[in-house]
Chains A and B, each alone.
Chain A
Amino acid sequence: MNTRVLPLYATLLICIIAYAACVFQFPAMFSTRVAGNLLTDNAFLGIAAVGMTFVILSGGIDLSVGSVIAFTGVLLAVLITRYGVHPLIAFAIALLITTVFGAGMGAIIHYLEVPAFIVTLAGMFLARGLCFVMTTDSIPIDHEFYAMLQGLFYRLPGGGRLTFIGLLMMVVFIIGIVMAHFSKFGSYVYAVGGNRTSAELMGVPVARTTIGIYAMSGFLSGLAGIVFSLYTSAGYSLAAVGVELDTIAAVVIGGTLLTGGVGYVAGTFIGVIIQGIIQTYIVFDGTLSSWWTKIVVGVLLFSFIALQRILVFLSLKRTTATSGG
C-alpha cells in the first residue's frame, strides 16, 4: 500500500470515530441540521484552507490568510454601507485586490528568494494595518442582495439547510481537487514542492507557478472573506485573528506534509470538518470552554506530524533494506 495515502485514511478514520463518539453521547448530533451547520459555520475556513493546501504542497506557507479575510470583510462593508456600491461590484473589487496582493507576495518570494514565511508575515501586518486604516469600527452590512444570498439554501431531508456559503465551500473543494490532481498547474505545484531545483531543470515554469499559487491563495482568502462577511453581515478589522493557524492545522491534519510535495486537497476538507466537530461537541456539551478546541487541535496536530515522521522513517528504512539486500 502507498504509505502516502495512510495519513489521509488515518484522518478519515479519526473523523468518523470522533463523529460516532459524539453521536453516541448526543444522539441529536446525528442529523442533517448539524451536518448543514457544520458546512455553513466552517465555510470560510474551508475555502481559505484550499488555498493554503496548494501553498503548503508547494513547500511554502501563507500567514496572511486571516488578515486578508478581515481586510476583505472591512473593504466590503465600507464599499457597500458607506459608498453604496452594489455587492457584486464590491465582490469583484475585493477579489481583484486580494489576488493581486497574493501575486505580489508570490513575486517577492520567488524573485527576491526570501522565505515565504517572512514575506507573508509582512503581508499579514500590511493587510491587518489596512483594515485599521479603513476603519476600527465594526460596520454592519444591510443590503437586500446580502439578505437574498443569506436566504438561499437547499432544504435537506430531516430539516437541515445546505446554505449558499456551505455549497460554495463544497464547490471550491471540488475545483481544488480537480486542479490539484487533474491539471498541469496541479502537477507543477507538486513538482515545485517535491524538489524545486529538479522541477526547474525538468522545465517547470517555477516563477509562474509560485506566483500563481500565492495569487490563488490570495483569491481564495478574498473569497473566504466574502463568505465570512455573508456569514457575519458585518466587517470588523479584528475579525478572523488566528484563522491562518486554523487553516494550517486543517491542512496538516488532512495529511499534507509541511515540507511540501505530498498531500491531498480532500484531506484538508476532513481536517476542517474535524475542527468543526470538536467545536460542535463543545457547544452540545455546554460546560466545556471553547479553548479546549485549541488544545485538542494541538494534540491532533502533534499526532499527525508524529505519524508522518514514523511513516517517512519506515519507508526510508524499507528503501535501504531493499536496495541493500
Chain B
Amino acid sequence: MSRLNTAALTKAMPQLLSLMLILFLNYLAFPGFFEIRLQDGRLFGSLIDVLNRGAPVIILAIGMTAVIASRGVDLSVGAVMAISGALAATMTVSGYPVPIVILAALGAGLLCGLWNGILVAYFDLQPIVATLILMVAGRGIAQLITEGSIVTFNEPGLIFFGTGSFAGIPMPILIAALLLTLAIAVVRRTALGLLIESIGINRSASSYAGLNSKLLLLVIYAFCGVCAALAGIIIAADIRGADANNAGLWLELDAILAVVVGGTSLFGGRFSILMSALGAVIIQAMNTGILLSGFPPEYNLILKALVIIVILLAQSFSSLGGWAFLKGEFRSKGANRQ
C-alpha cells in the first residue's frame, strides 16, 4: 500500500510542484497569502478563498472526469448550471421550501444528464455533438425559466449553501470535499472505476466482455448532470440570484481544463478524480493570484491558454517516448564515462 502511495505521489509530482510554484508566486505578490484567521466562527484567508471559489469547478471536474474517462466530453455543464440555478431561484421566489427547491434543481440536472446520456449511449452520437445541443439550447431554457430577467432571492436557507459555513469551513468547500470523498470511494472501492476505464479504452470490447456499457454511460452522464446542477445551486446561492446569461459561462471549459491538468487523457482510459480536483485548485490559484497581484483579470485567459499548450506539449512529448529517449541518452552517456 505504501509503495502504491509513493508511486501515486510521483505521478502527481508535476501537478503538486506547479501548485506549489503558483502558491509561492502568489505569496511573493501578496505577502499575506498564507494567513488564515477565524472570524465570526468562519475561516477567512486567501487560501480558503481559493478553495471556496474553486469549489464549483471542483464539483464540475468530478463529474467531467468520469465522462472524459469514458472517452466522452460534456460541453453542456455550464448551461446545466444556468438551468439549475434559474430553477432554484425561481422556485424560491415562488415560496417553495428549500429542500424541495434543492431536489428540483438537482432533478433538473439529472434530466439534462440523462438526455445527454441517452443521446451518447443509445443514439450513438459523438459526445461533443450530443452535448452541444444542450449547450446551445440550455441557456435558452434557463431564460425561459427566469422569463428573461435576473431573479434574486433572500431565502437564508438557500443562501446558506453559497455563503454559510459549518464548523468554520465554508459550505462550498464542505460540499465539494464531501462529494469528492464519496465519488472516490464509490469509484475505487467498487469495480465501477475499472469499468469506466474499460469503456474509455475500448467500448465495443467492453460490451463483448459482457459489460452493459450503454447503461453505464447513461449513469456517467447523469452523474455529470447532477454535479453541474449542484455547482449551479452553489453559484446561485452565492450571488443570491440566477443570471441565465452568465451563470456558469465558460465553466465547461474550466472543468475540462481541470481534468486535463489533472492528467486524465482526453482519449479516455485511466483517470483520477482527486487529481482533477487538484487541477481545479491549480486553475483557481492562478485566477486568485492574478487578482491579488493587481493584473487585470483578463490576463487569466492568456495564462490558461499557455497552460493548455504546455500540458499538450508535455503529454505529446511523453507519449512519443521523449522522456525515455532523454533518459536513455543520459544513461548511455554516463555508462560511456564510466
Contacts and interface: CB of A to CB of B under 8 A. Distances in A.
Contact of A301 (B132, B143, B244): B132
A262 interface: no
Given A133-B298, A258-B129, A306-B123, A291 B144 contact: yes
A130 interface: yes
Interface stretch (B9-17, B133-141, B164-172): B133-141
B299 A309 contact: no
B8 interface: no
Nearest to B313: A112
Interface stretch (B194-202, B207-215, B300-308, B328-336): B300-308
A118 B315 CA distance: 13
Nearest to A119: B312
Q: Which residue, B137, B139, B253, B260, has most C-beta atoms of chain A within 10 A?
A: B137
B137 A122 contact: no
Nearest to A108: B312
A305 B125 CA distance: 8
A295 interface: yes
Contacts of A293: 140
Given A258-B128, A309-B125, A118 B312 contact: yes
Contact of B304 (A125, A259, A302): A125
Interface residues of A, number: 42
Given A118-B308, A295-B137, A309-B125, A136 B301 contact: no
B7 to A, nearest CB: 26
Given A118-B260, A125-B301, A294-B140, 7 more contacts: A122-B304, A125-B305, A126-B301, A129-B301, A294-B136, A294-B137, A302-B137
A321 interface: no
A94 B123 CA distance: 42
Contacts of B308: 118, 121-122, 125
Contact of B126 (A237, A258, A299): A258
A293 B144 CA distance: 12
B32 interface: no
Nearest to B73: A117
B309 interface: yes
B140 to A, nearest CB: 3
A117 B302 contact: no
A309 to B, nearest CB: 6
Contacts of B156: none
Interface in A235-288: 237, 245, 248-249, 252, 258-259
Contacts of A245: 132, 135-136
B140 A292 contact: yes
Contacts of B126: 258-259
A61 interface: yes
Sorted nearest first, the 5 A-B pairs with minimum C-beta distance are: A298-B137, A132-B298, A129-B301, A294-B140, A129-B302
Contacts of A298: 133-134, 136-138, 140
Nearest to A313: B124
Contact of B128 (A61, A124, A133): A61
Contacts of B159: none
B266 interface: yes
14 contacts: A112-B316, A113-B316, A114-B316, A118-B256, A122-B304, A124-B305, A126-B306, A128-B301, A132-B296, A132-B298, A258-B128, A289-B143, A291-B140, A301-B133
A36 interface: no
B148 interface: yes
